[in-house]
Amino acid sequence: MTPPPLPALAAEMQGAASEIFLLDAATLAVVDANQAARLNLGMEASRLAATDFHALTPGLDRSALSQLLAGLGEEVGAQVSLRTHLVRADGSCYPVKLCILRIVRDSRALLLAIADDLTLEQAAARALAQSQARFDAIVRNTPGLVYQFVLHADGRTDFPWLSEGCSALLGLSRLELQRDASLFERLILLDDRKGYQESMAASRAAMTAWNWEGRIWIDAWKDVKWINLRASPHPVDGGAVQWDGIMTNISASKGEQQEVLRSRARLAELTDHIEQLKEQERTRIAREIHDDLGGNLTAIKMALAMLSARLPDGEPALLEKANYLDDLVDRTIEAVHRISLDLRPTMLDLGIVAALEWQAREFEKQMGIACLFRCPDPDIVLDDDHATALFRIFQEALTNIAKHADATRVTVALRRQRAHLTLTISDNGRGIAPGDRLKPHSFGLRGMSERAKALGGTLALSSAPGGGTMLTIKTRLASPAPSSKNAGKHE
């Protein structure tokens, strides 16, 4: 009598991606296996037919597996799931998720074992765990608070995630902030809150990085902290925006920065005071030279003239010496006049417009460089300190042009614009390279800049139209102090 044919897997199971085994329910012998199982195990159908399922799953305890299968009962369709490893023909193992269920084929009790390879899933899980471990390590060692912040379309805010640095930075626990995200904004000082809201709105509107710094009040410590937050936005469901970023405590650096600013302000005050003292000393020396030396030289010239008139006609040598001394006195008087003007130009007494125009003419005469001066408002009045500082900046600018510009023409414009006074000096020379401004000994530019700052103004250096360099000094206008003449009228 011919034995009945062995049961086999259905055609659709033969082509399935999962590994499918047909097992004898009593012995767990492999009756059939699909192509996916044969390929993954590296076994031919004949070899599998001589193998029981215990040999394919050496990691499973036989008695435990028997109890597990016994728990299925005899009901067709009953199933159980577990995780184990299958062993290949070469001895290597791979993880699977195994589902075993009872079926009946040709009145024969069988088991259908469906195995899904978990190799990729476990590799992904390990990679995810490694990434999470690296992320946790980075967050733990980040000096500050790493966070996620969400602004919903209706204006509500949330902190979906906060790192452990929350309490140390803000004096609030993660749970407190996640229950009520508005607690953070309430920490911000009122003076800084508007800037915080505006910067958040600008980041949301343009979807650009959010960078804000401001002060918060930590009530638990009765202390004010400077914090900086940097975050990147991206849209989320429901029209909300989520920022992923970091907050850091910048109190120490902010204190140093403010101390630097205070120190620089004190230095600027000292520099301004020294410049005023220098100008006062120059004025005093110029007056003494002009009055004392000038008066003495004039007296000497008059005495020489009287002596020359009384020399006898027969003494040409004496007359020649007298003429020589007279020329020498004239040259000395000119030198005294020039030195006095350098120390304190008397043209400043006639106003800033007259002084600048005079200096432009002197520069043109001495250097041979055409210098055009324009001022639509000749009635500009400045106090002495302002006028002197602006005049010194102008002198230094002309000196730099003469030394370095190789220019043939200079254009100067002075104009009043409401509460500001602007002096523009342009040349057609070779221009100034960016590196020239950073030279360690470029004291001329620094001196002009400091003088402008002392006046509450700015100094800007740029390329002139058509080539060359343009220097622009912009200062605030203030009411001039009353002169001694005007003051006397009110006494």
Tens of each residue's pLDDT in the chain, 491 residues: 455 666 888 888 888 999 999 988 888 899 899 999 999 999 998 888 888 888 899 888 888 888 888 877 767 777 888 899 999 999 999 999 999 998 887 778 888 999 999 998 888 988 888 888 887 777 777 778 999 999 999 999 999 999 988 888 999 999 999 999 999 999 999 999 999 999 999 999 999 999 999 999 998 888 899 999 999 999 999 899 999 999 999 998 888 888 888 887 787 778 777 777 776 777 778 677 767 777 787 888 788 888 877 777 767 888 788 888 888 888 888 887 778 777 777 778 888 999 999 999 989 998 999 999 999 988 888 888 888 888 889 988 998 899 888 899 999 999 998 888 999 999 998 887 666 655 555 567 777 888 888 888 899 888 888 788 999 999 988 654 444 444 443 33
**In whole angstroms, how far apart are CA 376 and each of 348, 361, 379, 393?**
19, 18, 9, 20
**In whole angstroms, how far apart are CA 146 and each of 50, 137, 182, 475?**
60, 12, 17, 45
Compute φ and ψ for 282, nearest 5 degrees: -60, -45
* HSE value, Cβ hemisphere, 13 Å, CA-based, for 204: 17
Contact between 172 and 166 (Cβ < 8 Å): yes
Number of Cβ atoms within 10 Å of the Cβ of 63: 8
DSSP-derived 3-state class of residue 107: coil
DSSP-derived 3-state class of residue 450: helix
* CA-based nearest residue to 211, from 174, 243, 251: 243
Side-by-side strand order, sheet with 108-117: 30-33, 19-24, 108-117, 93-105, 79-87
Q: How far apart are CA 388 and CA 278, in angstroms?
A: 11
Q: Report the phi/psi class of residue 284: left, alpha or beta, with left for phi > 0 and alpha for psi in -120 to 50.
A: alpha
* CA-based nearest residue to 231, from 189, 196, 181: 196
Q: How far apart are CA 110 and CA 55, in angstroms?
A: 18
User: At CA 483, angle to CA 479 and CA 486, rounded to 5?
Assistant: 105
DSSP-derived 3-state class of residue 103: strand
* CA-based nearest residue to 448, from 468, 417, 469: 469
Length of the chain: 491
Q: If you ran DSSP here, which 8-state letter would residue 376 be given?
A: S
pTM of the predicted structure, to 2 decimals: 0.50
**Which ranges of 368-442 does DSSP label H, i.e. alpha helix?**
384-400
Beta pairing class for 370-374 and 409-417: parallel
Contact between 136 and 226 (Cβ < 8 Å): no
Number of Cβ atoms within 10 Å of the Cβ of 182: 9
Q: Which secondary-structure segment (H or E) carries 476?
A: strand 469-476
Cα-Cα-Cα-Cα dihedral sign, residues 282, 283, 286, 288: negative
Task: Report the amino acid identity of residue 261.
Answer: L
Q: In the numeric block, which tokens belong to residue 309?
A: 């008139």
* CA-based nearest residue to 415, from 460, 375, 373: 375
